[in-house]
Structure 1
Amino acid sequence: METAASTVEGVTLSRRGPVATVLLNRPAKKNAFNEAAWRGFPKVAAEIAAGPDIRAVVMRGAGGVFSAGADIAEFVALSTADEARRRSYADAVRDGEEAVAAIAAPTVAAIEGPCVGGGCQIALACDLRIAASDARFGITPAKLGIVYPVESTRRLVNAVGPARAKELLFTARLIDAEEALAIGLVHRVAPPGELDAVVSETVAAVSRGSAYSLFAAKRMIDALSAPSPDFGELDELWRGGFAGEDLKEGARAFMDKRAPLFTWRPGPAQARRR
């Protein structure tokens, strides 16, 4: 059963069972992000954190387009704004992207059409990226005289490696879905008309797993790809699995040759931590 959708600043959240969908919902602008939309992501992420039964989150764009990037009209105004105004905008962009990255449940970007600039920021902040065969990707700050954010650049380097990241940023060229797959920018390409089916299959597989296992795996991988991970904390996550309720159920289900019914759910602090 699908819950009623709520829209915050051009970002719409809906839910069907254990799966939440975040819809980038500015189709008249090809889902380009203005400042209000960037500020909407933390609010939507807080709603997701308040629903502990959400097992996976799908990020997608309205109207057959993931996102054409940032709303360039705002850049024109920013070029003559004072320092406080520019910092406020930069903070909104950073906080919006990091709110998506900090969602505790696994996140899947379902990408069709253009995924450019800020669109790639949000896609890279998701855990998995599945592209339709018609998707196009580009990271284009060099065309505008701006700089890609630090965390966005780190995620890009982690996905495609330093040389590929430099080539994408230096040339600002668009690449197709097959090239994006070959360099690691996306994880899977869906044949024409099959994006929804492939995303649903992936999300269903994720949702069947232990929420504790998923939470711990995401936390570990994200921490290990950043500078100075807290190995003590990560070790405790690993050890916590041996004492958890999900291990008892998983082991019993394996012995009984049945599907497990996992019950662990993240608490409020875990649902909000990165």
Structure 2
Amino acid sequence: MDHALKVEVSGDVATLTLNRSRKKNALTLAMWSTLPGLLAEVAADRAAKVLVVRGAGGTFAAGADIGEFETVYATPDRTRDYFDRVGKAMAALAAFEKPTIAMIEGACVGGGLGLALACDLRIAAVDAWMALTPAKLGLVYSLPDTRRLVQAVGLSRAKDILFTGRMIAAEEALVIGLVDALHAPEALEAAVAEKTAQIAAASQWTARRAKAIVGLIADGETRDTDETARWLIEAVEGEDFSEGRNAFLSKRKPEFPFR
């Protein structure tokens, strides 16, 4: 498990690397268990405005480590514990308050694609490929994992992906909404860096509240809640709006203070 998950912060950007390249970054029980705590540390780090999730060695993640199946599925209690830990890790990433980007190279399969879907944006190399493979194993994905797939690609395409477990090339993934942008492999890091820079230069107050509001809409909310209504007032009274307004009037780039 040592260094199977690695977090580095450089400037405004934190990078979470799935770091088992010899195993194509297959996800272990220990990795699922560790992930929520690592995300909490990044959330508390004021230096980090954006989180990038990637895999080491040119592969995002080949899915759950099949070598653990005999252990994690040995009894119903162990199975429940395993699914609980996976679910908590996925939920922690989906609920992470700062903007997140999945940088996808190579294979992005099963739980790896689940992690990518829990990110806000997915930027992939043109030679990447994706699959969700419960139908090839006789398994079922959780409702939250399935919901994030449906929100990305729609009901019919989600059914096709889950019914068949087929491989999805990057070009198709872009067309159906599974990823948001494609780049040549040699240009991928630069493209992700450009996107993180764009996000980091904008108001983080706006980004975090916008992410929360989009999440409420995805969960079916149709009207302002007491909390979202309060955010509108707080924004106008906040230091970021003051800086943004003054920068606009002065015809300069804003330097937003909220982190």
1:40 aligns to 2:34 (yes or no): yes
Find the aligned partners of 2:23 and 2:155 in 1 and give their Cα distance. Answer: 32
Aligned partner of 1:89 among 59, 82, 88: 82
Aligned partner of 2:174 among 181, 188, 193: 181
Q: How far 1:54 moved relative to its partner?
A: 1.3
Q: How far 1:9 moved relative to its partner?
A: 5.9
Contact residue 60 and residue 106 of structure 2 kept, 8 A: yes
Find the aligned partners of 1:192 and 1:73 in 2 and give their Cα distance. Answer: 30
Paired residues in the alignment total 258
Distance 1:247 1:114, change over 3 A: same
Q: How far 1:194 moved relative to its partner?
A: 0.6
- Counterpart for residue 269 of structure 1: none
Find the aligned partners of 1:123 and 1:104 in 2 and give their Cα distance. Answer: 16
TM-score by length of 1: 0.91
Contact residue 114 and residue 136 of structure 1 kept, 8 A: yes
Deviation readout 1:24-83 (Å, 9 max, x if unpaired): 01111100101001112111101102202311011100000000001112223344x222
Residue ranges of structure 1 left out of the alignment (5+ in a row): 1-6, 266-274
Contact residue 100 and residue 119 of structure 2 kept, 8 A: yes
1:218 aligns to 2:205 (yes or no): no
- Counterpart for residue 242 of structure 2: 248
Q: How far 1:8 moved relative to its partner?
A: 6.7
- Counterparts in 2 of 1:125-274, with a 5 A limit? 125-228=118-221, 231-265=225-259
Deviation readout 1:117-161 (Å, 9 max, x if unpaired): 001110000000000001000000111111112111001000000
Distance 1:228 1:251, change over 3 A: closer
Deviation readout 1:209-235 (Å, 9 max, x if unpaired): 011000111000011101457722222
Alpha-carbon RMSD across the aligned residues, in angstroms, is: 1.5
Contact residue 8 and residue 43 of structure 1 kept, 8 A: no
SS in 1 for 2:166: coil
SS in 2 for 1:262: coil
SS in 2 for 1:57: strand
- Counterpart for residue 67 of structure 2: 73
Distance 1:122 1:135, change over 3 A: same
TM-score by length of 2: 0.96
Contact residue 8 and residue 44 of structure 1 kept, 8 A: no
Indicate the percent of aligned positions where both proteins have the same amino acid: 47
Distance 1:234 1:9, change over 3 A: farther
- Counterpart for residue 108 of structure 1: 101
Select between 230-239 and 191-200 the one with higher mean Cα deviation: 230-239
Paired letter, 2:39 = A
Find the aligned partners of 2:232 and 2:131 in 1 and give their Cα distance. Answer: 37
Find the aligned partners of 1:162 and 1:141 in 2 and give their Cα distance. Answer: 17
Aligned partner of 2:51 among 57, 77, 99: 57
Paired letter, 2:90 = E
Deviation readout 1:197-253 (Å, 9 max, x if unpaired): 110110100000011000111000011101457722222223321111100000000
Find the aligned partners of 2:19 and 2:233 in 1 and give their Cα distance. Answer: 41
Contact residue 51 and residue 100 of structure 2 kept, 8 A: yes
Contact residue 26 and residue 63 of structure 2 kept, 8 A: yes
Residue ranges of structure 2 left out of the alignment (5+ in a row): none
Aligned partner of 1:26 among 2, 20, 25: 20
